[in-house]
Structure 1
Amino acid sequence: MTPVPPGVRALSGYRRPWLVKDVVAGVVLTTLLVPQGMAYAELAGLPPITGLYTTVTCLLAYAVFGPSRVLVLGPDSSLGPMIAATVLPLVAAGGDPERAVALASMLALMTAGVMIAAGLAGLGFVADLLSKPTMIGYMNGLALTILVGQLPKLLGFSVDADGLIGELVGVVEGVARGETVPAAAAVGVGGIAVVLALRRWAPRVPGVLVMVVLAIGVSAVFRLGERGVSLVGVLPEGFPPLTLPTVAWSDVGPLLAGALAISLVSLADTISTASSFAERTGQEVRGNQEMIGIGAANLAAGLFQGFPVSTSASRTAVAERAGARTQLTGVTGAALIIVMILFLPGLFRDLPQSALAAVVITASLSLADLRGTARLWHQRRVEFILSVVAFAGVALLGVLPGIAIAVGLSILNVFRRAWRPYQTVLGLADRVAGFHDVRSYPDARQLPGLVIYRFDAPLFFANAKTFRDAVMALARTQPPPRWVLVAAEPITDVDTTAADVLFDLARLLDERGQTLAFAELKDPVRRKVERYGLAREIEPQHFFPTVEAGVDAFRTRTGAAWPAPRDAPAVETGVLERPDPPPAQTPA
């Protein structure tokens, strides 16, 4: 039986009272979709009209295949630099726009293939490859890269340079040579001020729309096009036909690398945004279905001269505040854009390019998370350093190397924690049931001849030596313990390399007259240990269901007794023995 797409399935539960709210929200949303679509297309190095094609197709496709009722997809400020970094180096000298569009469309199709295949394979967890600290650093670097890259357009001139430093130098030199167009700069800087002011003091007012309308009005009244200000001009009329882009075989490798990076960032952004809005609407986030939905949106965009898309938190928030209930909001927005393309192609002819630069710059400012960076500094310096390195990777090496660095740092951070996990000795703390970390309870008592050791990570090839060295260091303490009891509840796996290390460790301790024992080993891990043959070296009676059971067994076999507590004895629980009664007093 063919599965029913989520959008089609949602129609059966559609309620008539939602219709007006969805349509109104769609109208409001369109006021943001149009200027942002054109601005983000130019950010990606493509003609503005491609942003509108992309917006229409991805909204319609996600409405059918996307699982979320409220998410809004479209061109995104975080993907624009990645698309440009992938496509522009492949465009022939002279910057052929048609070739750039074909490459961007193929990039969207490849992104769609990656996302759909990963969704069908159940790989939605790959979004976790980007940790929050590295994502903060990456987005901070991306925000700075976008800001510097848009400054020339904001000021009315262009810069031919690569990389953040080169572009920044080009901006400074252009301003010093007097290349700034005052009218363009006034529109751009004023536009930024309008958007930020409305965002701060009137957040429900569509600041981007207000700014664009004002910019068009000022441009028309003062004829800024005749004053050296670059304008958007009349958009191509009509909608493009279904087109399968063609590219050279030599372009496939770079495009695939870009598609993988875009897929990762898009998925991470979508899962984060979907989770945030799902909490408010009571929906469940389905990562694998989201990948398929985003993949379908990219597929549609790539077939109609579009480029890769992602979820937009800002546009989703606008739709939600406007009363959106379902994806009919996005469908309404797509329909209105189609009407504009077909019948009003000259609507934005007087829009200054510097106003589009203002749209992009204000969007880039929302990408940066300076508060999050400061919080990392105060909470955990290691993760702050990871964030700074990710930021530097984007700012100094470029967007695509930056995402590779961010992913690499996230994986290395996980590996570092597993390679050198927290490990400690447990003791019996007075007036607290059970056994606890002696670092947290310095007065915790140790049973003579027994060391209770906890290793807080799975045992695998990278940390098996760390485990062995720690156990041997404990075994060599004076006086030497008779047992080393491993509190193994945090050990969620043991691979074959670690099993060999445990085998050698148990045999070495046995030669020293010492015993290696385990407590609270999870059943799946216990079965692996037995399959590896460790039961031949570690006797079955040295595996205990609880730490308390292991301690009791040690005391039974050795007669060891707990040392008296430092303070007055209190009624104790768990494995604590009650104090021996005082000897009977002989009457005088």
Structure 2
Amino acid sequence: MTGRQPLRIPRILPGLTPRNAARETLAGVTLLAIAVPLNIGYAQIAGLPPTAGLYALIVPAIVYALIVSSRQLVASPDAAAAALVASSLGGLAVAGSQDYLVLAFAQAIIAGVIFVLCAVFKLGFLASFLSKPILVGFVGGLALDILVSQIAKMLGVKIDSGGEFVDKVAGVVTGIPTANLWSIVIAAGSVVVLVVGRRIARVVPWALVVLIVSTVVVVATGLEAFGVSVLGTVEAGPPTLTWPVIDWVTWLQLVPSAIALALVTMAEGLLVARSYGEKRGYPTSPNRDLLAFGAGNIAAGATGGFTVGSSTSRTAAMDQAGSRTQLPSLVAAVGTLALVLFGTALLEHIPSPAIGAIVAIAILPLLGVRDFIALWRQDRFEFAVGAVCFLGALLLGPIAGIVLAFVLALINLAKRAANPAVDILSDDDTPGDSVLPDAGRAPTSASGVVVVRFAAPLFFANATVFEEAIRKAAGSRPPASEPEVGPPATPADAPAPAPVRDLVLDLEAVTDIDVTGAESFHSTRDWLTTHGVALHYSRLRPDLRAKLAHYDLLDGVDVYATNRDAVAALTSR
């Protein structure tokens, strides 16, 4: 006789159980309250109608939630994506026009295809090129650009939101005399509610509170007649399947910006997904997450939305609300669908200054002030990298900024790889005891054997360093016929250092070698032979052994399992 089986929820949403279903549903209501005002604001930043931001919360969110491996990462248009869309499409069509809207759809589809290709070919590692300083600087530059536009909206000043940063700042400054007093009052009140309210009760959706209260005030007092700008008519109706019809040249023009969108989302989204997975104890799959982003963006472009990225702030809000599944995204999608079907009339009188205040407060953390302070204290070079990316994204534009970010990433990588650690080892392989205090000094025994460890793959960027390090190590002891000049380097009773006759190259940390490195290796071996120094290898990896054989670097060279074995064999001869 079998007992009663417990109720099981299908594993469509990992982590969802009957016990936490109510909590996850409530978190979904909170997400809806947070996402609706933000997505309306981000759509405006991108130069798109409010429905583009709302539609991105419906089908794309559902598709993403059902595919992604992360149980918590929230996918939605964000500030960086909105800024990239505005800057990249501004030169191709007039913001707000039908052509502009079609280009935004096509851009989302291209970004989705890029995500899918990255998932199929397992290219998620490309996001690693955007290090934290680069990401902080790039996103911070975009955030400041957006902030200026929102300040103009809060002041009631008209500026070209698609213009250059300097022009926007000039527009705000010169427009201050024309600022609308009531817009300033609404914006100031909204900021106070958002900031103070968050300190009092973080679980309350203060952005929604601000929208409701400010809308009621505007409608009740007729402030539109006094120059307060409002959202305006929002088209009602569900998202419908569509496909952008543009010529192939325009498709190609959208590829660079779509790549930039994909890279920024990859770098931030995969990092956040992994960190929450580790924090909450569930596995994540980067390539599956990329596939989810791809499917979500294709769905966005095909249903009237725009590019979907990862929302760090909303993910953090859901984590604080106790959510550990993707159910909140599904609840928010259903709620948004109900809103576009039956409640768009409620959105028409939302004051623009309130939307500007909500977006401004939301993107303030993206400026990365604390991160820049930490970088300044920890590593001035990394700080400089972040600062250059910040200025590049701000002054050159997001597309040029992302190219600059990759160039800086490659420079940073080459800088570090070109100066690897080169250790002169003792006879002991024990970590922590094997490296001598002075890496440029050979062991003090009189054996004539020196062990050198090159701690990096050998390739074009560090081949010269390798060659110089080996020659220095081999010549670090004076020949026996030449007396040392100056005070003795060792105590009087210590054995006199012998000329180097055997050099053991510890290859444990050398994981690869390229053609330039092989040529440098040949040159170094010839130099050692000319100077009467025999070359030997220790701790050679099987994969590197094959490469050394391919480059004819194994012939006539003894290979030892450990440094201790090498020194013992060579000193006993």
Aligned position for 1:62: 64
Shift of 1:316: 2.1
Residue matched to 1:294: 293
Distance in 1, matches of 2:10 and 2:146, equals 38
Instruction: Note if 1:132 corresponds to 2:132.
Output: yes
The equivalent residue for 2:510 is 491
Distance 1:384 1:447 in 2: 47
Q: Could you tell me how far apart the structure 2 residues matched to 1:411 and 1:189 are?
A: 44
SS of alignment partner, residue 535 of structure 1: coil
2:263 maps to a residue whose letter is L
> Where does residue 207 of structure 1 map in the other structure?
206
- Contact conserved, 2:15 with 2:324, CA < 8 A, in 1? no
Instruction: Give the aligned partner of residue 158 of structure 2.
Output: 158
The equivalent of 2:92 in structure 1 is: 90
Task: Give 1:70-469 correspondences, 5 Å limit.
Answer: 70-92=72-94, 95-160=95-160, 162-175=163-176, 178-427=177-426, 434-439=433-438, 445=444, 447=446, 449-469=448-468
TM-superposition CA deviations, 1:516-558 (whole Å, max 9, x none): 222222221122212322122xx242x222122222223223x
Runs of 4+ in 1 over 4 A off after TM superposition: 11-14, 431-434, 440-444
Q: CA deviation at 1:43?
A: 1.2
For residue 232 of structure 1, report the CA deviation from its aligned partner: 0.6
Q: What code does the residue aligned with 2:257 have? A: G
Structure 1: which amino acid aligns with 2:165?
Answer: L
Deviation at 1:109, TM superposition (A): 0.2
Q: Residue 178 of structure 2 aligns to a residue in which SS?
A: coil
CA contact (8 A) 1:72 1:316 kept: yes
Task: Determine if contact 2:443/2:450 at 8 Å carries over to the other structure.
Answer: no
Contact 1:426/1:436, CA 8 A, preserved across alignment: yes
TM-superposed CA distance for 1:276, in Å, is 2.5
Decide which of 47, 50, 58 is 1:48's aligned counterpart: 50
Q: Name the CA distance, whole Å, in 2 between partners of 1:12 and 1:131.
A: 30
Provide the secondary structure at the position in 2 that maps to 1:90: coil
Distance 1:473 1:439, change over 3 A: closer
TM, length-normalised to structure 2: 0.89
CA distance in 1, matches of 2:454, 2:406: 27
1:34 to 1:432, Cα distance in 2 relative to 1, 3 A: closer
Distance 1:289 1:367 in 2: 27
2:561 aligned to 516, 524, 545, which one? 545
- Within 5 A, what are the aligned runs for 1:467-486? 467-477=466-476, 478-479=478-479, 481-486=500-505
Q: Is the 8 A contact 2:155 2:179 kept in 1?
A: yes
Residues 43 and 360, structure 1, Cα contact 8 Å, conserved in 2: no
Decide whether aligned partners of structure 1 residues 518 and 363 sit closer, same or farther in structure 2, where only a CA change above 3 A counts. same
Does the Cα contact within 8 Å between 1:233 and 1:346 map onto a contact in 2?
no
Question: 2:492 matched to which residue of 1?
Answer: none
**Distance apart, 1:166 and its partner CA:** 2.0
Match of 2:39 in 1: 37
User: Contact (CA 8 Å) 1:125, 1:287: kept in 2 or not?
Assistant: no
- Counterpart secondary structure, 1:424: strand
Distance 1:344 1:276 in 2: 37
> What is the CA deviation profile of residues 315-354 of structure 1, one whole-angstrom value per residue up to 9, with x for unaligned ones?
2233333343432321111111111111111112221111
Which string of whole-angstrom CA distances, capped at 9 and with x for unpartnered residues, describes residues 485-519 of structure 1? 22222111122332232123212211221122222
Q: In 2, distance between residues paired with 1:371 and 1:149?
A: 23
**TM-fit CA distance, 1:442:** 8.7
Over 3 Å counting, the alpha-carbon distance change for 1:134 and 1:439 in structure 2 is farther
1:512 aligns with 2:531: yes
Give the conservation status (yes or no) of the 8 Å contact 1:142–1:399. Answer: yes
> Could you say if the C-alpha distance between residues 553 and 433 of structure 1 is closer, same or farther in structure 2, counting changes exceeding 3 Å?
farther
- 2:283 and 2:196 map into 1 onto residues whose CA distance is 35
Map residues 513-532 of structure 1 onto 2, 5 A cutoff. Answer: 513-532=532-551
2:453 alignment partner, SS class: strand
Is 1:26 aligned with 2:28? yes
Q: Distance in 2 between matches of 1:12 and 1:321?
A: 19
- The structure-2 alpha-carbon separation of the partners of 1:327 and 1:498, relative to structure 1 and needing over 3 Å to count, comes to same
Secondary structure of residue in 2 paired with 1:78: helix
**1:58 to partner: Cα distance:** 1.6
Instruction: Determine the C-alpha separation between the residues in 2 that align with 1:9 and 1:316.
Output: 21
| Residue 9 of structure 1, CA deviation | 4.8
How far does residue 368 in structure 1 lie from its aligned partner after superposition? 2.3
Aligned length, in residue pairs: 543
Q: Cα–Cα, structure 1 residues 547 and 428, in superposed 2: closer, same or farther, change >3 Å?
A: closer
Cα 1:205–1:527 change in 2 (3 A) is: same
The CA deviation at 1:391 is: 1.3
The one-letter amino acid paired with 1:171 is V
Q: Distance in 2 between matches of 1:377 and 1:14?
A: 43
Deviation at 1:427, TM superposition (A): 4.1
The alpha-carbon deviation at position 12 of structure 1 amounts to: 8.9
State the 1:196 CA deviation.
Answer: 2.1
Task: Answer whether contact 2:36 2:54 (CA < 8 A) is retained.
Answer: yes
Task: Spell out, residue by residue over 1:457-480, the C-alpha distance to the aligned partner (whole angstroms, 9 max, x if none).
Answer: 100123222211222233344335
- For 1:579, the equivalent position in structure 2 comes to none
Deviation at 1:308, TM superposition (A): 0.5
Tell me, which stretches of 5 or more residues in structure 1 are unaligned?
A: 1-6, 558-588
Whether contact under 8 Å (2:138, 2:390) holds in the other structure is yes
Q: Could you tell me how far apart the structure 2 residues matched to 1:446 and 1:308 are?
A: 66
Structure 2 CA distance for partners of 1:211 and 1:115, relative to 1, 3 Å: same
1:162 partner letter:
G
CA drift at 1:428:
6.5
For residue 571 of structure 1, what is the aligned residue in structure 2?
A: none
CA distance in 2, matches of 1:187, 1:12: 43
Give how far 1:230 is off. Answer: 0.9
Single out whichever of 120-129 and 438-447 deviates more from structure 2: 438-447
Distance verdict in 2 for CA 1:540–1:171, change over 3 Å: same
Secondary structure of 2:572's aligned partner? helix
Q: CA deviation at 1:286?
A: 0.6
CA drift of 1:131 comes to 0.7
Q: Return 243-252 or 469-478, whichever deviates more.
A: 469-478
Matches of 2:443 and 2:187, distance apart in 1: 66
